[in-house]
Amino acid sequence: MTSFLDSNVLSELWKQNPDAKVLTWFQTADGYLPVPVIAEIQEGAEAAPSAARRAAINGRLDAFLNQHGILVVAWDAETSRTWGRLAHSPEVKRKPQTLWDSPIDAMAVRHGAVVATRNASDFRHAKTVNPWG
């Protein structure tokens, strides 16, 4: 099944010693990167407390996109409509989503993908898978 990587999976892959389960999962999964994750990581880079940390995050993101750019899934008109519908669902009204989780959730629903994350409760509509186990 197609999986959309959440930012915590990508961050794990960038560690000097990533969790073996996550690494194995990534190497065998049909994983893609939804564009909101790129924005989330870029925002995190800009908020980093030092220029060195900003450069390190940007360097990792640049390298990932250069190596795996074909895995990026763009936001499109139908995803926008899906997001608009889901933003007013009973699940979101009961428990609002964060800025970045709601578009990732909508993209996964629109494309019939699961979200690979260690934070399953952040997603109200898409199915999730936890690469950590």
Instruction: Decide if 101 is inside a domain.
Output: yes
Q: Answer yes or no: is pLDDT of 99 > 90.
A: no
Q: How many CB atoms lie within 10 A of CB 50?
A: 8
Instruction: Decide if 116 is inside a domain.
Output: yes
Instruction: Decide if 84 is inside a domain.
Output: yes
Report which DSSP code applies to 71: G
Q: How many domains does the chain have?
A: 1
Instruction: Decide if 11 is inside a domain.
Output: yes
pLDDT at 45: 96
Q: Where does residue 112 fall: left (phi above 0), alpha (psi -120 to 50 degrees), or beta otherwise?
A: left
- Segment 39-47 mean pLDDT: 96
Q: Which domain holds residue 83?
A: 2-35+71-129
- Residue 21 belongs to a domain with what CATH number? 3.40.50.1010
Instruction: Decide if 81 is inside a domain.
Output: yes
pTM for the full predicted model: 0.93
Instruction: Decide if 64 is inside a domain.
Output: no
